[in-house]
Amino acid sequence: MPKAQRDQYDYDLFVIGTGPGGEGAAMQVAKRGWRVGVAERYRLIGGGCTHWGTIPSKAFRYAITSTMRALSNPVMRELGVTISPTMEQLRRGTQAIVGRQVSMRRSFYDRNDVPIHRGQARFLDEHTVSIDNDKPVTAAHFVIATGSRPYRPANVDFTHPRIYDSDTILDMAEKPSSITVYGAGVIGTEYASMFRNLGIKINLVNTRSKLLEFLDDEITDALSYHLRDQGVIIRHNEAMDRIEGCDDGVVLHLKSGKVLKSDVFLWANGRQGNTDDFGLEHLPFEANRRGQIDVNEQFQTSLPHIYAVGDVIGIPSLASAAYTQGRAAGMHMLGHTSGNLRLNDIPAGIYTSPEISTVGSTERELTEQCVPYEVGQSQFRSLARAQITGDTVGMLKILFHRETKRVLGVHCFGANASEIIHIGQAIMNQPDQHNTVDYFIETTFNYPTMAEAYRVAALNGINRLF
């Protein structure tokens, strides 16, 4: 849209939502001199990522792992330290971290002269929104970055004090002795792993045939084995019939006839896009049954000047992806129509204990595509750094083309997986002749480190060639 045409509006771009997707879009174009405004209905900026999802859950996870590791140290045992931390103690530092995140992100908007409109934004027409039904605000372009929330079926009573979803589970006042987690996707497996580390008995109910089917099969198998080894009871191919909230617990009735009772119940089965009460009836497109908006490869809706990014458009539903999508949408508005960002090169990070991270193709995908590949593996138990820290559970595997040696995928299960995955990601994106497994063989890695797993895995794979 020409500048003269944009000038008839209050803003060049108006962003709805201040989570990672909204922030990425707003900052990308504000730094190019565009007039940008944002709307946020929550009292603080940052979106679900900052206040209910990624930041608080990962902060809580770190508190659990670091505390339990300290308490299991032989020196602590010798001193007779046998304390059991409370839920309040474990999450005490979370709000301080959230506060620092909010303060930092608020400074981005202040420095770039981006005003924040507080309240619920609703479309009045394709170029106009109102904020809490106040004075209309017009813009040449819009980015919808309203995020998502846990899907809540009507037949589950979320007002019951023992029934939670992923937005409310961290508010538990007391540590229960048992939890049933319904839904074994990313959120369900993360919380099952997290609470098991506290010694809580876990029933993990999966509606599918295996955990996290989108992962490499070997990584999935390793996760399943480790969870069971920790004492998590996993039940596959199950479906809820009804949930009965009682004074002393929650009873889950499954369609298979099984009945499970636990102190607390966590619903972790699906997400819902935040598009209700949004004025979509005034636009020529609508959200699907899960509240998600369809977009093209440039994140445009059926109206080219209205974009949508982040969880509101569905998978991959990652904070990292949302931020990149927001930036890509902003760059497209600025005229960069192709090759903006590496949108198809997004690593998955799953914060189970230990964590999982993958990038590129899986063995299953390469087999289906008839790609001649080879596998290089490194077991963490053989790494000196893992032996020193005690993080010996896990593995790293490199998939590479047998003939060209080009790296096709990297999959990691174990300590620091979400960090070291970026080494493989960087090599995969190098030009031909520089994106091969040879890099890991010819490069000196610090010793002892977890990243050394790349060298071990590469040598393991090369030895299979003939």
Domain of 386, CATH number, reads: 3.30.390.30
Phi, psi dihedral angles at 273 (to 5 degrees): -65, 140
Q: Is the pLDDT of residue 69 over 90?
A: no
Per the annotation, where are the binding residues for FAD?
58, 146-148, 311
Q: Are residues 429 and 447 in the same domain?
A: yes
Q: Which residues pair with 264 in a beta bridge?
A: 179
Q: Are residues 29 and 127 in the same domain?
A: yes
Q: Are residues 11 and 110 in the same domain?
A: yes
**H-run or E-run covering 224:** helix 217-230
Q: Are residues 385 and 319 in the same domain?
A: no
**Taking the model in full, what pTM does it have?**
0.93
Per the annotation, where are the binding residues for NAD(+)?
183-190, 270
> Could you give the number of structural domains in the chain?
3
Are 60 and 48 a contacting pair, CB within 8 Å? no
Q: What is the pLDDT of residue 343?
A: 66
- Asked whether residue 67 is assigned to any structural domain, the reply reads no
β-strands 137-144, 249-254 pairing:
unpaired
Model confidence at 345, in pLDDT bands (50, 70, 90)? confident
The mean pLDDT value of the chain amounts to 94
Q: Are residues 96 and 49 in the same domain?
A: yes
- Asked whether residue 371 is assigned to any structural domain, the reply reads yes
Q: Are residues 438 and 367 in the same domain?
A: yes
CA dihedral angle for residue 441, residue 444, residue 450, residue 455, rounded to 10 degrees: 10
Q: Are residues 138 and 11 in the same domain?
A: yes
- Asked whether residue 278 is assigned to any structural domain, the reply reads yes
Count of all residues that appear for the chain in the document = 466
Q: Are residues 318 and 370 in the same domain?
A: no
Q: Are residues 314 and 398 in the same domain?
A: no
Q: What is the pLDDT of residue 233?
A: 97
Q: Is the pLDDT of residue 397 over 90?
A: yes
- Asked whether residue 105 is assigned to any structural domain, the reply reads yes
- Asked whether residue 66 is assigned to any structural domain, the reply reads no
Structural domain range at position 378: 354-462
- Residue 265's nearest CA partner among 205, 353, 339, 322 is 205
CATH code for the domain in which residue 250 is found: 3.50.50.60
Are 127 and 139 a contacting pair, CB within 8 Å? yes
- Asked whether residue 125 is assigned to any structural domain, the reply reads yes
Give 291-302 pLDDT, tens digit per residue: 999 999 999 999
- Quick one: average pLDDT of 329-351? 83
Q: Are residues 140 and 281 in the same domain?
A: yes
Q: Are residues 110 and 24 in the same domain?
A: yes
- Asked whether residue 358 is assigned to any structural domain, the reply reads yes
Q: What is the pLDDT of residue 340?
A: 58
Q: Is the pLDDT of residue 5 over 90?
A: no
Listing from the earlier edge strand, what are the strands of the sheet with 240-246? Answer: 240-246, 249-254, 259-262
Q: What is the pLDDT of residue 257?
A: 97
Per the annotation, where are the binding residues?
58, 146-148, 183-190, 270, 311
Q: Are residues 96 and 130 in the same domain?
A: yes
Q: Which residues are CB-neighbours of 344 under 8 A, at least 6 positions away? A: none
